[in-house]
Structure 1
Amino acid sequence: MSRRPKIAVSIGDLNGIGIEIALRAHATIKEWCHPVYFVSYEMCRRAAEILHLDIPEDFDHSAPDAAPFSILPGRTDAHAGRYGFLSFKKAVEAVRNQEADAVVTLPVNKEAWMLAGIGYKGHTDALRDFFKQDAIMMLGCEKMWVALFTAHIALKEVPRHIEKKRLTRFLLDFQKETGAEKIGVLGLNPHAGDHGVLGVEEETIAAAIAAANARLSGEGSRCSPFEGPLVPDVAFTPKMRENFHFYVAMYHDQGLAPLKALYFDESVNVSLNLPIVRTSVDHGTAFDIAYLPDRPLNLKSYFQAVRTAVAMSQKRDQRS
């Protein structure tokens, strides 16, 4: 039997639902891995007291370098933002130092990070800087995966980011990380530009697709996995999903709106093109329901994030 990997769980924004997810899910995920939660016992105690939950006796924890603060359920707060970032940073360092096998992140609030003076727009941006590598944000489940060529930028900025060289490299990195033999690449504009009538960015996308396919074919793989630019409004229809299991979207909502409409409960966030394994839940802090009694709490995305991290870390062990 494979050993149970050690999973570093960054606790996210303590004003949100992350700590409750960790407490309620612990009995299940400890059967798959050895989780270590990057939260101090004192902050865990404060959250558990509000939630009227017990802290499991085997709730292994490691405190980030941050002072305790008052939990404000459902509120955007700089103290919670800073704590969530430092929890994430220490969890990543544990994996970098081979003290853990993978990172699973619970949700943070980007505004809280901003209020705390954290200079990143989210986990993936931070990982790119930590490792000086072009991390790829991929979300989905076994039924469908979507990679985001641009992610947390304003929509008006997307067209100028679509450059042939950059997109070609992104496509090649994505194919290398996933091993996918067929990848649908979305156009940017309605009708994929309609031959220039509705936009010209598809010319650049088509050139990047051709360059990436030529590169792979030239390396002797006999593989030309990229198809497109696909018309975005029909790319995720049932018929198209019979043809494509992997997609590349040009911007955040283009890929995530259909994914979450189809597979919200099952989806996870996976960071590719990094020397560590990192997965995350595919939802936010849910401030509207945080710490409220008698309301349903869906653990499916967290369970899937942990399962994915375990599988990816074991696969890396087998390769090394």
Structure 2
Amino acid sequence: MKQKIAISIGDLNGVGLEIALKSHDEVSKLCSPIYCINYTMLHQGAKLLNFELPDNLQLHEVTGEFEIEAGKVSYESGLYSYNSFVEAIKLCEIKQADAVVTMPIHKEAWKLAGLDFVGHTDLLRKYFNQDAIMMLGCPAMFVALFTEHIPLKEVSSHVTFEKVANFLFDLHKSLGDKQVAVLGLNPHAGDNGVLGNEEREIEKAITHVNKTIGKELFHGAVVPDIAFTPSFRENFNYYVAMYHDQGLAPLKALYFDESVNISLNLPIIRTSVDHGTAFDIAYKGDAKNLSYLNGIKSALNFINN
């Protein structure tokens, strides 16, 4: 029996629906997708795409109707993408789905809709009252983010022994005995305090966590500008970045089309495409689906492991 995957449809003014529809035949060979969208919105989007709907689509009703406007930021599309995501979560909670795979939302549209979340992971964190971890990547390289969508000037205040240690313990619970490179915050990983003291907090946390779990799994603080070089990556494909762009700039430079977003340390499995709504190409038929297919496969891997 195939696993059931709830598909949160994302912002309908973007590329999510196109990707879901063009991938349906291939995805259906891997699992049983349940699309969180109502027929009215699905039919409207399919008409804009000039796409003939398959007969075997399984839908889960999401209330709301509005006019899809390709590439437009709107509160209607923001609210609908939020409702689709919440319905997908609920399907997992009541065991009618085994995992959630999300299409991209638009953060500004969520804000216009009055939603007090900066993204999927933030919503999951508050919904389940657990410290969800955002990890992005593909089998060649995964990057877990110690901090996510916060101003750069605030990152250093978060880099404390206690916070880093708790993060590493949670990451270990999710990943098991993987070798993980933990990046420093500052250039040259602080140069022994010359360029900053945050690395001392990171290193204390690494020592404590490794000693507690009884294995040398976490390594660092690694100098950030050498961490993603070919020779270093021969020994590591799991990383912890101290802030968003530190980890995602190299990841997207190397594996933009194939990377996925995975939420760890939660009671449900959630993966996502690792790209945005791509409003500039919405409903033009040009959206790529590799990240979505990898998101489906990653969700299935987590279910089966």
TM-score, normalised via structure 1 length: 0.94
| Counterpart contact for 2:190–2:198, Cα < 8 Å | yes
Aligned to 2:240, the other structure's residue is in SS state strand
Task: Report the CA distance between 1:38 and its aligned residue.
Answer: 0.3
| Counterpart contact for 1:191–1:232, Cα < 8 Å | yes
Residue aligning to 2:78: 81
Residue aligning to 1:298: 288
Unaligned runs of 5+ in 2: none
Q: Please list the CA deviations of residues 145-182 of structure 1 after superposition, one character each: whole Å capped at 9, or x if unmatched.
A: 11000011111111111111111011011122111331
Query: What is the aligned counterpart of 2:229 among 227, 237, 252?
Result: 237
Output the CA distance in 2 between the equivalents of 1:299 and 1:132.
32
| Counterpart contact for 2:14–2:283, Cα < 8 Å | yes
Aligned to 1:265, the other structure's residue is in SS state coil
Aligned to 1:12, the other structure's residue is in SS state coil
| Counterpart contact for 1:180–1:246, Cα < 8 Å | no
Residue aligning to 2:55: 57
**1:181–1:20: structure 2 CA closer, same or farther, 3 Å change rule?**
closer
Aligned to 1:207, the other structure's residue is in SS state helix
2:9 equivalent to 1:17: no
Task: Report the CA distance between 1:20 and its aligned residue.
Answer: 0.5
- The more displaced of 237-246 and 305-314 is 305-314
Q: Which runs of at least 4 in structure 1 moved beyond 3 Å after TM superposition?
A: none
Aligned to 1:151, the other structure's residue is in SS state coil
Structure 1 counterpart of 2:20, one-letter code: A
| Counterpart contact for 1:76–1:112, Cα < 8 Å | yes
- Summarize the alignment of residues 1-320 of structure 1 with structure 2, pairs less than 5 Å apart: 3-65=1-63, 67-217=64-214, 223-293=215-285, 296-315=286-305
Q: Please list the CA deviations of residues 224-244 of structure 1 after superposition, one character each: whole Å capped at 9, or x if unmatched.
A: 111110000110000100111
Q: Please list the CA deviations of residues 104-131 of structure 1 after superposition, one character each: whole Å capped at 9, or x if unmatched.
A: 0000000100000111000001101111
- % identical equivalent positions: 52
Aligned to 2:234, the other structure's residue is in SS state helix
Residue aligning to 1:318: none
Aligned to 2:26, the other structure's residue is in SS state helix
Structure 2 counterpart of 1:304, one-letter code: N
Aligned to 1:31, the other structure's residue is in SS state helix
Task: Report the CA distance between 1:184 and its aligned residue.
Answer: 0.4
Unaligned runs of 5+ in 1: 218-222, 316-320
Output the CA distance in 1 between the equivalents of 2:270 and 2:291.
14
Structure 2 counterpart of 1:250, one-letter code: M
Output the CA distance in 2 between the equivalents of 1:252 and 1:15.
26
Task: Report the CA distance between 1:277 and its aligned residue.
Answer: 0.7
Output the CA distance in 1 between the equivalents of 2:218 and 2:152.
24
Q: Kindly report the root-mean-square deviation, in angstroms, between the aligned alpha carbons of the 2 structures.
A: 0.9
Residue aligning to 1:220: none
Output the CA distance in 2 between the equivalents of 1:96 and 1:24.
28
Output the CA distance in 2 between the equivalents of 1:210 and 1:153.
27
Output the CA distance in 2 between the equivalents of 1:229 and 1:151.
19
Output the CA distance in 2 between the equivalents of 1:180 and 1:280.
24
Task: Report the CA distance between 1:8 and its aligned residue.
Answer: 0.2
Output the CA distance in 2 between the equivalents of 1:232 and 1:267.
20
Structure 2 counterpart of 1:179, one-letter code: G
Output the CA distance in 2 between the equivalents of 1:241 and 1:179.
19
Task: Report the CA distance between 1:314 and its aligned residue.
Answer: 2.3
Task: Report the CA distance between 1:7 and its aligned residue.
Answer: 0.4
| Counterpart contact for 2:188–2:224, Cα < 8 Å | yes
